[in-house]
Structures are given as C-alpha cells and as structure tokens.
Amino acid sequence: MSLDLNQATPEDIRERAAIDRSARWPVLFFFTSAAAWLAVATLLGFFSGLKLAVPGLWEHCSIFNYGRLFPVHMIALVYGWAMQAGLGAMIWLMARLTRSEVRNGTTIIVAGHIWNFGVSLAMLAVWAGKGRSMPWLDFPAWIAPVLFIGYLMTTLWLIPMYRARRAGEVYVSEMFLIGAAVWFPWIFGTANLLVGDSGSAVMSAGANAWYMSNLIFFWFIPIALGAAYYLIPKIAGRPIYSYPLAKVGFWSLAILAGWTGFSRFVGGPFPAWIPAVSGTATIFLLVAVLATGINFWKTVKGDSDVKLWEFSPTLRFTMFGALMFVVYGILSALSSFFTFSKVFQFSHFVVGLDVLAVYGVFSMMIFGAIYYIVPRITGCEWPSADLIRKHFWFSTYGIGTVVLTMLIGGFAQAGQMNQWDSSFILSVEVGSRWVVGRIIAWLLITFSNLGFFYQLALMFFGRGRRSEGATLMQPHSPESAH
C-alpha cells in the first residue's frame, strides 16, 4: 500500500493481513474519532485566538470568553485528537511488532466510547464555568476517573500482547510504546491527586506544570518516536542506523523526563533548587533529542541519493515531525536558562511551545503513521495525493506561523512587561498584535485537516482507491522506490 521497500514471504504477508483485519475496527474507531475532535479543536483554536485579538467580541456571551474557549480548545486537541490518535497507532503498532492479533476489539471500542464520553463531559463542564484554571487539567476532578477507566480498558490488552511476543530482542519501538502505556496512568493519577479544588495553590500549579511536561515527554513523544522507529526503516528499506543510539534516546527520556516541568517557575515561589534541577534535566534531554534526530537522518539518507521523503507521505510527515522534535528540544532547553526564562515564561511563547509539542512534533508524526496504517487495515489506498500534499503544506505553514509569531510576540510582550514604569495593559496590547498570526495559523491548520478528514471518512467506509500502487506525494517515484 504505502511505500514499503521490504521483501516479505507469503507466510509473513498472510500473518500481517490477519493482524490488520483484527485491528481494523478498533484502530479506525480511534482514528476517525480523533479526526473529528481535531476538526473541533482547530475551529476552537481559531475562535479563541480571535477572541484574544478582539476582546470585545461576544462580550455578552460567557461561553465565548477566552477563559473558556481556550481551555476547551486544548481539551479537544490534547484528549480528543492527540490521545485517541496515539491510542489507535499504539494498538496497531504493538500488534504488528509482537505479531499478535487484536483479540478484544469490541472491548477496546467500548473503552473508546467511554473516553469520548469523558472528553465531552470535560468540555461541557469547562464551558459551563466549572473549570479549575489548570492548563490541560481544567476539567473537574470527578471527570478524571472516567478518562482513567477508558484509558485502562484500552491499553490493558497491550501487556498480554507484549508478553506473548516471540523470543528475541525487544524492539526499541516496543520499549517506547510500553513505556508510554504505563507512564500515563502514573502521571495522570498523580497530577489529579495533587491538583485539587482545595489545598495549596503553589503545589497545584507545580503539579500542573509537571503533568504538562511529562505528558509531552512520557506519552506524546514516546508514541511518536515508537511509530517513527517502526516506519522509517520499513520505508527506507534498511535497518535503523544505530540501535544503541536508539536505546540512548529511550533511556535518556525515561530517566530525565520525570524531572522536568518545574523549570517553568524559574524565579517562582519554589525552593530555587527545584526549578534548577528541572531545568538541568530539560537541558540534558537534548541528548535524547539529538540522538534521535541523527539516527533518523542517517537511516533515511543511507548511501543513496534518492530522497524518499519527496515521495512517501508517511516519511515526509514523520521527518518533519522529527525536525520539529529537534526544534522543540532546543527551545525547551533554552527556556530552562534563567536569562531566557525570565523574559518568556509569562508570554505567548509558552503557548506556542506547547502547541509545537502537540501539533508540530506529535501530530505530524502521527499523521505519517495514519497514512501508513489505514491503507493496510482497509485494503484500499488514499484517494488523492493532491489532498495529502495540501495537508502537509498547510500544516507546515500553520505550525511554522504559530511558532514564529508566538516567539516574536512573546519577546515583544515580555520586553514590555519588564518595563517597571510601564502599564501592564501595554504588554497585553503589544502581545495581541501577534495573536493575528495565531489566528491565521489555526485557519491554515483547519484547511489542512479538511482534506484529511474527508479522505479518512472515505477510507473508513471502504471507498478508497482500489489499486496496487501506493499514493505518493510525487506522481513518478524513482525505480528504487517501487
């Protein structure tokens, strides 16, 4: 289906086909649900940016206040889109890696409905004014068990699959996926216990920042990297450049990620050593970031002059996500230095950095995985290469606009805030000028996902292109890429 240079025996082909059939409906359920939530999230992102740029807009309608629009936007983006897309990819990848069929498809789909119910409740509660004003944890505490149950019912079946894998070395993709599966209940449960409606506000803020950082480093990035370490060698037709380097990336993430998060409070109401240790861990995570970037680049480049990312949708999205991973790692490390953090920590830059992690890194890599997985579980190809190209370029321009405008706008906003003899409202006005870029960015991302959602719906109903040839980004691929 998608570009795949590996040779397989007839027995391997039959085994993979059986695995894909068993995973079809659970994986499609999560992918289509995620795509629907993504459409909601991008529209809410546009409206929240519009409200921030024009504060007087809809001023008599409380549900359109920025304090409600932005939290529900992030809930839809993080829990509606990103978590479900990650779960769908996780199920298929683990089945393929362990060569195990998905035995509990109905239970997983029921769990998906529970998860969607929890996300819907979370959004409605925040929209009704019951939020906790904690980014990514804005919903009331009583909703957390609903999401927790839905998650456990989905991922619990991955453990038997992993234990039943065939003898041999554990793939690094399996390490990332299993790590993400077991890390999320720990960070989600811990954060919800510490972030309460009563108790220390300082502790709640610290736990919230710790949760956001760890959700990125312990869930989004491991799933994205697990998918990339599986897909890149498949498409490149060669083993990963350095397996030891891949393990360095995994263990660096596993050891250091849990210490991050508090660097957002450099100079804040915590003992000075806590943000310092957290910032140091974030800086040392550059080891994992650079090791991963080098590994991917060396694997794709190989000894050939053929630029496979020009032809493979999966590889193009995945490699762009890997590039954004390097950018995110560098910016996160810079923001851990006091001289940098004191300028940016209360500005639009922080929002831009979070969006870069969720959309620029995770989502772009997961788009690549979806473009690879869906043809294999549906038995048909993506209908339009043109729509895939538009999806990529609009997404690229969108995320680039978010990062650039939020970085420059954050610098301008923070510079004004640091003027002790200046009114605070001036910093708000300076920052709002750059919010226009954020509005444009979410418009671009919305357009990028219209074609994606349309094609995914066609694939869901089996209306894709019936062809043996892959849907490629360029109409003519090099001979070695067939």
| In-domain check, residue 75 | yes
The domain containing residue 235 runs over which residues?
Answer: 15-481
Looking at the DSSP assignment, which residues form a beta bridge with residue 465? 381
| In-domain check, residue 1 | no
| In-domain check, residue 140 | yes
| In-domain check, residue 180 | yes
| In-domain check, residue 278 | yes
| In-domain check, residue 4 | no
CA distance 405 to 417: 18
Close Cβ partners of 316 (under 8 Å, ≥ 6 residues apart): 309, 310, 368, 392, 473
Q: How many domains does the chain have?
A: 1
| In-domain check, residue 125 | yes
Which CATH number characterizes residue 227's domain? 1.20.210.10
Cα separations (Å) of 298 from 294, 302, 473?
Answer: 6, 6, 22
Contact assessment for residue 264 and residue 211, using Cβ atoms and an 8 Å cutoff: no
| In-domain check, residue 9 | no
Contact assessment for residue 111 and residue 162, using Cβ atoms and an 8 Å cutoff: no
Tens of each residue's pLDDT in the chain, 482 residues: 444 445 567 777 788 889 989 999 999 999 999 999 999 999 998 888 888 877 778 877 778 888 889 899 999 999 999 999 999 999 999 999 988 888 888 999 999 999 999 999 999 999 988 888 888 999 998 999 999 999 999 998 888 888 877 766 778 999 999 999 999 999 999 999 888 655 677 888 888 989 999 999 999 999 999 999 999 998 888 888 888 899 999 999 999 998 998 888 877 788 888 888 998 999 999 988 998 999 998 888 765 655 666 778 899 999 999 999 999 999 999 888 877 777 777 777 888 888 899 999 999 999 999 999 999 999 888 888 889 999 999 999 888 888 888 777 777 777 666 666 667 677 667 667 777 878 888 888 888 888 899 999 988 888 777 766 676 666 554 433 33
* Burial label, 420 (beta-carbon count in 10 A; 0-12, 13-18, 19+): exposed
